[in-house]
Each structure stands twice: as structure tokens, then as C-alpha cells.
Structure 1
Amino acid sequence: MQIQIVAPDAKSVSCSFRDSSEFVKDDKGVWIGTTRSLDEGFHYYTIKIDGAEVPDPNSKYFFGAMRWGSGVEVPAKDEEFYSVKNVPHGQLREVLFFSASTDMTRRAFVYTPPGYEQDLEKRYPVLYLQHGWGENEYGWGAQGHAGLIMDNLIAEGKTKPFIIVMTYGMTSDIRMGGMANFDIKHFEKVLVEELVPYIDSHFRTLSDQPHRAMAGLSMGSMETKAITLKHLDKFSHIGLFSGATISKEDVDKTEGFRDKVKLVFVSYGSKEVGGAGAPRRGGEPEANTKGLRDAGINSHYYLSPGTAHEWQTWRRSLREFAPMLFASETEKAN
């Protein structure tokens, strides 16, 4: 990919993509450089001008890598599943809710499926969907195209319509960069005791455990595992993208797991797993998932071809996960 930056008075220009060429200024003050060959999908980057790391003024801005910066989309061969199509579209709504535990007003984005405004008697299941470390509640709607993925799946009859709730996975007492200090119980309280009741009281939800799911990517998958296993009275479907896995040992020590959990879905990008099948973050997700299936638990493992720890992996994971959510026993058998 070639990058051009107009900065006639700059002494040096570079970009954050590793293995990029040296930027050279032409006689019009335009600095030109090229990046390494980039994988398909979405990538964060910044421009460095005389030592100052700044967003590219020619790019849209996205929150990731713990800052607002630029992003580039390399067209993917399978981008059709999150493309804008002439199909009925849902809405991505921004809501503000007060959190007594953190003494602040917090933000969530809520996807409501097509038809939500037309049939005012219909109620919907809910998926709580979490971002990764260094990202925030904008991630799944902007970088992840969650709404478009759902619109297209629903139009094709591949998934049941459901609501998706996306909120910031940290709390006010946590500073970015301090992952070692992260304590899940603060966000757990916000989600379980404050956000879930807010959503159930402000949207037409099916508010029982069989119709509530949680999933997340990377850090969000760790949050998902920790929260769902402690609150099986609240969540019945679990999705873990590029991070946590659930083992048979987890099942055996979690009372009620076999009766209450309807689905465990685990996914990774193929570039995240090593030759021995172990992901870069440890564990044995494929073996663990098979162990659950052998024990009679509805569990699935998905490997995104040719992708790493990146949004293309997670977009594909949502595409694979969504059709499995809230399915009847007959549908699961098929």
C-alpha cells in the first residue's frame, strides 16, 4: 500500500506499519512511502511526522490500540457478508445509562434488527458483545460491521433476529495501559447488575436466561468466560473469539453448566495458532471444544482461514456464531 502525506516543512515522515519503506519527499512537498503487503481486512495505523504520531488526515478515525487513529480496509475476497446491500436494515442506537457502581453515565450501542419498529409486540433475544483490549464500545459497530453482518444474515434467513448490546468493557477506575491492574468484578457489576436491567426495561427483550447470550473478542472473551460462568442464571450461550476457552475441567467445577449452557463457540484466526495447534495466548481451544462435544455439550470450534488477531477473524466469527444463537433443538440438529 502506498501512502502520500503533504507535509512540505516536515523533516521526516514515516508510518506505524512495520517493514514500511523509507518515506521520500518530492519537489512538491509530498512524502511518499509504501507499506509491507497487508492481509485482507482492517488495520489500524498512524503517521509519524517529525516524531509526532498523528492520524492520517485522509482516513476515517477509529478507536483502537488505546487511541483514536486511522484505519485502512484491504478488500477481502469474502467481504460480501459485511457489505452494504439492498436488504432491510436494522438500527445501531447510542444509549446512555447511569451506573451507580461507578457513579457515572456510561454509553452502550444497541443494534435492533429490521422490523423492530414495525411489530411493536415482538420481543427479541439479546447478545452482549464485547470488544478487545485497547478498543471501546464503538469497535463492533464501526470496525466490526456487526450491524451489516446481522442485516445480511437475517435477509438470507440464516439467523434469527436478535438485539446486540455493545458497551465499554472497562470501568472508570481503570486507566488504559494498566491491564495488569484490571479487576473483572467492577465491569461484571456494571454489566450484570446495571446494563442488563437497563436493556430489559428499555427494549423489547426476551429477558429470561435461555434468550440471553454473551460473547467477546480477545480481552472481551476473557470477560465473557469469567462473567458467564459466574452467572449461568443470566446467560445460556457463550462465544469466545481469539482468547479464552472452556475446558471440561471448567464444566466440572461450574455447578449447573451442563443443564444451563446451550452453546459454547470458540474461534481463532489460523495465523494465531501454532504448528502444534496451540494459540499464541496458550491453551488448547480445539481440543477443549472437542472434549466438550464428547461430553454431550453443544460446542463448536471455528478457525478463520488466513487471518491473525484482527477484525477479519472476528467478523467471520460473528458470521459463524450468530446462526447458532437461540436455535431450537431441531434447528441445532440440522
Structure 2
Amino acid sequence: MIHQNQPRSLRTPASLHRRRGSAYLAAVSLLGAGALLTAVPAQATTPAKSGTGSSKQSQQHDSRGKQSPKPQQGSNPQRFSPVVKHTGTGPTGYTVTFRYDDPTATRVQIKGEWSFSDAAHTTTTTSQGVQPEQWTRGDFPIAYPNAVAANWPVRDLKQGKDGVWSLTLPLPSGVFTYGFFVNCASDTGSGCTERADPANPPWNVIDGVSVGTAEPDSEVYVPSDPRFGTADFSWEAPAPAGKQGRLADVSYPSPQSTAPVGTHPLAVYTPPGYNPKRSAAYPTLYLSHGAGGNEVDWSTQGAAGAILDNLIATGRVQPMVVVMTNFNGIPGGAAGYADDLLDNVVPYVQSHYNVSDKVADRAFAGLSAGGARANTLLFDHTAEFGYYSVMSNAGGTPASLTDAQVTALKGVLGLQVGSGIQDPIRANTTNEQAALTAAGIGFQDDSVNGGHEWYVWRTLLHDFVAQRAFKTTTTRATVATDRKGKETVTASVTAATSGAAPTGTVQFTVDGVTYGSPVRLSHGSAAAELKGLQGGSHTVVASYSGDALHRGSQTTVTG
């Protein structure tokens, strides 16, 4: 599937004189112009609530997953948080004003994931570097120059009379990661330390102190104005209060960990209404970051909490626990990570959370270097997870597959392999897809316009959980003849993953011809009497339609 999507940014030229004319500056009047939104940190996940990567949270958790005290009364950390405004004018219909309060600073810059290009002018090594003011329909976020590095624009903020620094940018819909440089001499931020927005900090920052790994950036979500052709990314917006899960940064015992010694961090998402005593244990999704990342990447830049919140709220996925790992400080590369995950992480999660211990109730996904780790698990520990997603992988595909590997891979319940179409390491993905195809192993090809960036990975995560993970079903059918000669075909549909029972319908075909109308499932079964058939054997196909939580399946029986 091809998507139009978007993530981070780079440098801003002094003048905007590239491929666009001045037409985009024309103001288009819209109803609702001027509406203001206080930016909800993209990924309003808090150790108490999950929504966006950064967040204005009312509650936090400590390193053991417990809630920490609320900030002291009288403080107003949100005073200078980003302001999202619906302007109703071009180029996107929305602007975001970023602010930084430091009257003593001599220079404040912002780096954000908002350079753009379009598919016609982008390759795995080139991109246009379109600035927000130049954005037009069809543009998607991609680094400039296009590379695996975060080549996003760095722009200067202007100081006002009140001492507050600010910059207003038009942005299309989606989550955007950004960070500040203060008193940096370099125009690109080179040699300077990026810092998160103190008015919009990551979810695991409490009173300026990081719980778990520190993330030096923040996120903001921008809605879509369809009149300007911006894609609708509301599925990664902060969910409404009451429909947000919770995030916690916790530590688990790991004899393999060298930093810190003996223990290692995890970020864990529990869904809205999580019940540690629920009779039906929850499925678990394990996520790995890429090189240079950490356990809070997926819950900040990746907007994982918000994505899950929205999919759960709309009934498209069942509630699940998401475990975000950190492979830094785990020796042995991908093989060492796999050992630590299987020997330490999974047992810890299964003993501390109400999650299922069934393979069919476990999924794994990783990006870039985490994609290479996903491949190690997929090819060498296949039976440990029911579902896999390999995103923008940085390697790990075997030169050839053994017969045993092929047999094991054909037993995987769901597999997604994808990347940005313009990803500089795209060849790793296409080569893996070719190897799987040659071996007769089915998978979902999720190819998205974009590079090696969170804009792509957020989409792949959304697609994996919305379309593939924990959704596999099996349909079986039998044809029986009673003592009076009446023939009946009965189909039964079962879900591979624990949870809600499949609903929907079964359509029967006989000898390639549709037979009757679809039959609705009742207690997992659907039956139809076979009438008017001539003697001899007949080929009957039972096709299950699927529903919001389950994929369709079919079977063939002769009777």
C-alpha cells in the first residue's frame, strides 16, 4: 500500500525562492479561521495518561511504574507551550507558534522534522528541502539532503519585547518532533546540545528530571484542514481524556546489561481501562527503536501511545500492552538483544503485567537497527512470536533460508515488511521481500512515501496493529449428510489470538459458484444446507468476511 505521510526537519534558507511560485501565499478564507489550540504534546502519553510523546501531564510515574506527585500548585509549565492555530489560509490552514522563554539568551534556534518533498522529485539520495511556507499538496516530510541522518532544518526564533523567543510556521497535519538550541554559534546546530521544550517536555520528565532515559526533543500535533489537501493524521493525535492509556518507565533485572549493570530500562504502555485482574490476559506488542535511540523513542517521536489509544477507542484493535525496549548496553548485537529479550524482558513482563504467555498473543516490531533485531528473531527464533513487523531494516536477512527456517516462517501468523519508498537503505527491505517471496512466505508489503524517519515508522506501526497483529483467524468446514440424505456444510471460525470472538459472515461457494447469501456467524459457526446439487462430489469453499478485530480467512472442503 502506498501512503502519503510525514516526520522531522533541517535548515532554513534565508529566502524561499525555490520551485514554488508566490501563489501559495494567497489567503483562502475558511470557516473557523483563527481558532486556537494549545499544542498537546504529540503523544500525550503520560506515565498516567498516554497521548503524545511530549505532554502536559497531570501525573507521572517513577522508575518502578508508580505515580509520582503532581507538580506543585502555582507552577504553569504550559504557559509557553506551542500554540496551534487554525488560520483557514494557505498553505496548510494551520500554523504553529513555538516559544522559548529565556530573556538572557543571545540566540535561540529550533530544529524540527519539517522539510518536505514530493514523490516525483525524491529518490533514495535526493530530496527538495521544501520549507513549511512552500508546502503544497502531495508533499511529505523527508530529510534534506535525503539520508539516514536527521537532516532537518534549523531556524532562528525572534525575541520579543517580553524576552520570549518565538517562531510561527505553517504545518500540515501530523506529529512533528522538534528541539531547541540555545546560544549556539552554528547555523546548523553543529556542536551544540539539543534540548526538549521545557514548556512541552517528554512524558517521562518530572519537574525537569528525566525518569528513565532522557529524550532531548518534544512533539506537537497539527490537525488537518482538508481544504488544503493535507492528509488526515488524526489517528496519531492525542486521544480525549478518559481514552488515554498510561506509560511507565520501569526497570527489569538483566544479568546481560552492562549499562546500567544488572538492570535495564523499559517503557511500558498499558491500555485505557487496563485491569490487572481481568480474566482474559492482554496480548503484548514488543517494540525496538533504531540506532541512537532508546526505550522512550516509540512513546515520544513514534507517538505509539496516541496511535494505540485511537485505534482502541475506534474499536479497530483490541486493548494490548506495549513494551518498548532499549538495546543500548546489551552486548552481543542483535543476537545478544534476542537473548536478553527472551530470557529477561518477556519473563519480567509476563510476571508483572496481566499479559498472555501464548505465542499467538505476542508480536514484535523493530525499525532500522531494531529491524535487524526483528530479523534475528524472525529467522532464528521464529516460534517465539506470533506476529512480526520489520521496518526499514538495517540488515539481518540471511543469504539463504534453510528448509527448517522456511517451514517455521510459514507458521508465522502475520508478517509485515516495509519501509519508506525513498529510504536510503530501501534495498534491504526489497531484498528481504524478494527472499520471502521466493520461499513462498506470505507477508504484507507496507511501502510508504518517505525516508528513514519517524513519519514512515508511525504509519507502519499504525498499519501493523490495525491490519495485521493479533488479527489472524482460521476457518474450517465440514460437509455432513444425515439419514434422510440432507447435506449441510458447516464452517467454524476461530481467532488465533485470545480475546473477542470473531463476528461477521461466511460466504459459501460450490464448484466456483456463489451459493446463497452470506451466513452470519453464531457462536463462531455458520451453516448452510446444500440443495439442488447433482450427484457426485462437490468443492465447497467457506470464506469468512473478517471484522474490525479479525482478518478474513477461508477453507476448501470436498463433499
TM-score, normalisation: structure 1: 0.77
Distance 2:413 2:274 in 1: 25
- The residue that corresponds to 1:101 in the other structure is 256
Find the residue that maps to 2:280 and give its secondary structure: coil
Alignment of 1:287-326 (within 5 A): 288-289=432-433, 292=436, 296-305=440-449, 307-323=450-466, 324-326=468-470
Kept in 1, the 8 Å contact 2:172–2:222? The answer is: no
Write the deviation string for residues 23-46 of structure 1: whole angstroms up to 9, x where unpaired.
666777666667897894322433
Find the residue that maps to 1:222 and give its secondary structure: helix
The answer to whether 1:162 aligns with 2:313 is no
Kept in 2, the 8 Å contact 1:20–1:33? The answer is: no
- The residue that corresponds to 2:388 in the other structure is 238
Residue number among 176, 179, 201 corresponding to 1:60 in the alignment: 201
Q: State how many pairs are aligned.
A: 316
Change in Cα spacing, 1:126 to 1:70, as seen in structure 2 (3 Å) is closer
Distance 1:316 1:5 in 2: 30
Kept in 1, the 8 Å contact 2:256–2:330? The answer is: no
Write the deviation string for residues 36-61 of structure 1: whole angstroms up to 9, x where unpaired.
97894322433140445352544424
- The residue that corresponds to 2:365 in the other structure is 215
Kept in 1, the 8 Å contact 2:175–2:221? The answer is: yes
- The residue that corresponds to 2:218 in the other structure is 71
- The residue that corresponds to 1:91 in the other structure is 246
Residue number among 364, 368, 378 corresponding to 1:228 in the alignment: 378
How far the C-alpha of 1:321 sits from its partner, in A, is 0.4
Change in Cα spacing, 1:262 to 1:290, as seen in structure 2 (3 Å) is farther
Residue number among 468, 473, 495 corresponding to 1:328 in the alignment: 473
Kept in 2, the 8 Å contact 1:170–1:187? The answer is: no
How far the C-alpha of 1:267 sits from its partner, in A, is 2.4
Kept in 2, the 8 Å contact 1:248–1:292? The answer is: no
- The residue that corresponds to 1:110 in the other structure is 268
Distance 1:250 1:166 in 2: 30
Find the residue that maps to 2:350 and give its secondary structure: helix
Find the residue that maps to 2:299 and give its secondary structure: helix
How far the C-alpha of 1:269 sits from its partner, in A, is 2.9
Distance 1:101 1:46 in 2: 35
TM-score, normalisation: structure 2: 0.49
Letter in 1 for 2:280: K
Kept in 1, the 8 Å contact 2:219–2:300? The answer is: no
Distance 1:200 1:250 in 2: 34
Letter in 2 for 1:260: G
- Extract unaligned runs of 5+ from structure 2: 1-95, 113-151, 186-191, 205-212, 225-231, 476-549, 554-559
Letter in 1 for 2:201: K
Distance 1:287 1:172 in 2: 28
- The residue that corresponds to 1:124 in the other structure is 282
Kept in 2, the 8 Å contact 1:126–1:212? The answer is: yes
Distance 2:434 2:295 in 1: 32
Write the deviation string for residues 274-332 of structure 1: whole angstroms up to 9, x where unpaired.
xxxxx411426357436645754331112334x43332322221111013112213543
The answer to whether 1:80 aligns with 2:234 is yes
Letter in 2 for 1:329: T
Identity of aligned pairs, percent? 26
Kept in 2, the 8 Å contact 1:266–1:301? The answer is: yes
How far the C-alpha of 1:113 sits from its partner, in A, is 3.0
Residue range with higher mean Cα deviation, 86-95 or 151-160: 86-95
Find the residue that maps to 2:292 and give its secondary structure: coil
Change in Cα spacing, 1:286 to 1:196, as seen in structure 2 (3 Å) is same
Q: Quick check: which has more Rg, 1 or 2?
A: 2
Distance 1:24 1:295 in 2: 58
Distance 2:404 2:183 in 1: 53
Whichever structure has more helix as a proportion of its residues is: 1
Find the residue that maps to 1:329 and give its secondary structure: strand
Letter in 2 for 1:211: D
Instruction: Please report the RMSD computed on the Cα atoms of aligned residues, expressed in angstroms.
Output: 3.6
- The residue that corresponds to 1:190 in the other structure is 340
Distance 1:5 1:86 in 2: 27
Distance 1:247 1:187 in 2: 16
